[in-house]
Structures are given as C-alpha cells and as structure tokens.
Amino acid sequence: MAGTDRTQESITEAGPGGAPAVILVDPQLGQNIGMVARAMLNCGLTELRLVRPRDGWPNERADTAASGALEVIEGVRLFDTTEAAIADLQWVYATTARPRGMVKPVVTPAQAAVELREAAAAGRKAGLLFGPERSGLVNDDIVLADAVLSVPLNPAFSSLNLAQAVLLVGHAWFMAADDTAPRKLELGAGQPASKAELVNFFNRLEAALDETKFLNPPEKRPNMVRNLRNLFHRIAPTEAEVNTLHGIVSALRGKFGQDR
C-alpha cells in the first residue's frame, strides 16, 4: 500500500521553501515518531513518511509525544517499502551513524542543508531517510540514496536517539536559510543613545570626579579619562540608560533629585 489521503500537489505545497520529506524506515516506538514530528516542526519540516511502523498507524503515543505538532502527524503517509516511500523524490540522503564501508559520498548536516536548499531552488524534491531506533538503516536502503548523511559527534559517545538525529539534521537545514544576526544587542523598546548624549554624560562624570579630585594628578588625567570613556562606552547604553547613569552620579554626589 502506497497509501495516501493527500494529493501529490498538497504534499509539494506542504514543504515550505522546498523542505525535504523525512522518511522513517521501520520505526518502532510511537513515542519516538511523535518526538520526530515535534523536532521536525521546530525546524519547519512538515512532511513525514513512515515505512512499516511496527506498532501501526495512527498511534496514540505518537500523538501525545508530538506535543502539538499535529500538522506533521496528520499529514503522515504510510508505505510498504523504502522504494515506494522515495519514488517521487529526486535527491535522497541516508542518515547513518557510521560509514558502512560502501563507496558513497558522505556529507555533514550543514553540507546537506546547502545541497538541499540548492535542490529546492532548482525545483527538485528531496528526502531524508532515517532507520529504526536500534539498528539504523539497512545497506539495501542506503544504496537507494544519493549520499550518506552523518552527524559528527563525540566519537566516544555517538549514539543519538531518533528524534535527536532528526533535530540536528533538521536544524542544520533550518539554519541554512535563517537570517538571525549571529550577535545583536537586544534593545527592547529603547533606542541607543546618540554620541552627543554619551559625551554629555562623560563630561558630566568627569566634572564630578574632578570636584572630588579622583582624576588627580593632572598629568595622569588624560589617560584616566580615556579609560573611563572606554569603560562606559562598552555599555552601549540606551537613551533611558544614559539618564540612569546621570541619576547615579547625582545620587552618589548626594544630589539626587536636584539638577543634572
């Protein structure tokens, strides 16, 4: 039975950005299938195909473990053979923990992600094969794939559960098209202070410190001022935070509530 209750069109639509299908071959525990569905949706993957799920389908434990990833669970398609499950695909990876001594290209998740994005951009439909929990894919399934996908892990402890393998591969795929800045300063509702506001604070602080003779002796003052300005500049404060700093100086001088 290459059973389906969804047309080919709706399946193609289901993959946003040409997302690859995830194909689980001989999965055992329904709970693991559910956790796979959750990990998939975390990464924007929605198309799940099952080859001979041991405990049948639908599966209540899968529904529970999916933690709300229902659009994945409800779209599941069942197949009797791996060949049937990948028949419509043009580019397939077989995920394995270790090379099997075959002459076969082996790629990392990040490399597979790049290749999958290229395949999708060219209108090709792709898939990711995962084997059963304990044993992984059999060699006859691996030879059906264009390449082996292997997740680099601590070689002394490389056993991943099924959902974690799907998560790492899926997340590499997600990140390949994610444009989150690697590092940014989250400002909430605030705006960064202008340099004029900053320099105004610097002058204010230095005047207060001059009053208290903190910046003595005079020959050391230029360097001390430079260090202080660098120190406070590193805060990269918002406008509101510059006002807070002014308030702190006033307070420490015993003039809180008076003029700035």
Distances (CA, A) of 225 to 211, 216, 232, 246, 248: 14, 11, 11, 17, 18
What is the distance between the alpha carbons of residues 67 and 33, in angstroms, rounded to a whole number? 11
Nearer to a second copy, 183 or 195 (CB): 183
**Selected binder of a second copy within 9, 134, 183, 259 (CB under 8 A):** 183
CB of 155 to a second copy, least distance (A): 9
Strands 77-79 and 91-95, by their bridges, are unpaired
Q: Looking at residues 194 to 253 of the shown chain, list those that interact with a second copy (rule: CB under 8 A).
A: 237-238, 241
Distance of closest approach, residue 1 Cβ to a second copy, in angstroms: 30
Which residues, numbered 15-44, are part of the site for a second copy (CB under 8 A)?
39, 41-44
Q: Which among 78-86, 117-125, 179-187, 216-224 is the span making contact with a second copy, rule CB under 8 A?
A: 179-187
Under the criterion CB under 8 A, does residue 188 sit at the interface with a second copy?
Answer: yes
Q: Is 186 in the site for a second copy (CB under 8 A)?
A: yes
Structure tokens at 14: 């289901």
- Tell me if 14 contacts a second copy by CB under 8 A: no
Rg (CA), the chain: 29
Residues in contact with 168: Cβ distance below 8 Å, sequence separation at least 6, in sequence order: 109, 151, 160
* Spatial contact of 164 and 109, defined as CB atoms under 8 Å apart: no
Interface residue with a second copy among 28, 108, 200, 243 (CB under 8 A) is: 108
Q: For residue 109, what is the enclosing H or E element?
A: helix 109-121
Nearer to a second copy by C-beta: 25 or 45?
45
CA distances from 129 to 50, 109, 172, 203, 218 (A): 10, 13, 16, 64, 72
> What is the contact surface with a second copy in residues (CB under 8 A)?
39, 41-44, 67-69, 99, 101-108, 110-111, 147-148, 151-154, 156-160, 163-164, 167-168, 171, 174-175, 178, 180-190, 237-238, 241
